[in-house]
Structure 1
Amino acid sequence: MFNNDYFTEAELSCPCCDKNHFNDETLRRLIQVRRRYGNPMFINSGYRCPSHNARLNATMTHTTGQAVDVSVAVSGAHKLMKIALAEGFTGIGVKQKGPIRRRFLHLDDLDSIPGERVRPTVWSY
């Protein structure tokens, strides 16, 4: 699963327990995005175990192993968003307010869920 030149198992693993249930297809997409982006991508958050996710009071997207948060800001965020959508990511969360070091994009490739956002979709934090 982690035979790639761009991302380590550690950066895609849960920070509290080191478990990693990151989805192979999502990783394939993420690698394609990185290749096309042409710049390093710093992962803030990859897979989260249910306990860690609950402590963050976050939605369950990261517990599926199909989501990452990438540190990126300004024009890099726009470029990354366009590439991610073209590569099949269906959920884009945008956090571009506040200090540059705290800005990120959430990327996931989840299917549409009845009663929730129709995908593809973009939202802001």
Structure 2
Amino acid sequence: MFENAYFSKAELSCRCCGKLHFSDDTLGRLIRVRERFNKPMVITSGYRCRAHCTSIGSTMTHTTGQAVDVPVSGGRAYELLGIAIEEGFTGIGVKQHGPHKGRFLHLDDLEAIPGKRDGPTIWSYPR
């Protein structure tokens, strides 16, 4: 499942338990985004087990293996956002305030989340 030139197992595995339950389709989409972006993309959060999501007070999108967080800001964030949407990422979380080292985009390709969203959406993270 996992051989690729851009992302390591460690990047996409749960930081809590080390498990890797990442969607092959999402990984393929992520690789296409990386190839078009043509710049390094570090994944700071990929798959998260339920215990990890609960411990950090996060939503459960990462438990699906279809979500990543990518540190990026400014013009690069704008460029990455456009490519991600064109490649089919349907959930986009934007944190572009505060110090640049803490800015990121959340990308997921979940079609819908019952009770949360019916289709493609974009949101910003609170300060």
Q: Which residue of 1 aligns with 2:77?
A: 77
- Per the normalisation by structure 1, the TM-score is 0.97
Relative to the length of structure 2, the TM-score reads: 0.95
Q: CA deviation at 1:111?
A: 1.1
Q: Which amino acid aligns with 1:46?
A: G
Q: Provide the rounded CA distance (Å) in 2 between the counterparts of 1:18 and 1:114.
A: 28
2:102 corresponds to 1:122: no
**2:88 alignment partner, SS class:** coil
Unpaired runs of 5+ in structure 1? none
Q: Do structure 1's residue 46 and structure 2's residue 57 form an aligned pair?
A: no
C-alpha distance in 1 between matches for 2:101 and 2:6: 21
**How many residue pairs were aligned?**
125
Q: Is structure 2 residue 14 aligned with structure 1 residue 11?
A: no
Return the letter of the residue paired with 1:117.
R
Structure 2 CA distance for partners of 1:60 and 1:36, relative to 1, 3 Å: same
Q: Using the alignment, how far apart are the partners of 2:15 and 2:113 within structure 1?
A: 27
Question: In structure 2, what residue type is equivalent to 1:8?
Answer: S
The offset of 1:3, in angstroms, is 1.0
Q: Deviations over 1:25-54 (max 9, x none)?
A: 000000000000000001110000110110
Identity percentage over the alignment?
A: 63
Consecutive unaligned residues of structure 2, counting only runs of 5 or more, are none
RMSD (CA atoms): 0.8
Give the AA of the match of 1:97: H
Give 2:68's aligned amino acid. Answer: V
Asked if residue 29 in structure 1 is aligned to residue 29 in structure 2, the reply is yes
Can you list the C-alpha shifts for 1:78-104, whole angstroms capped at 9, x where unaligned?
100100000010000000000000000
Does structure 1 residue 105 correspond to structure 2 residue 69?
no
Measure the CA separation in 2 of the matches of 1:31 and 1:53.
25
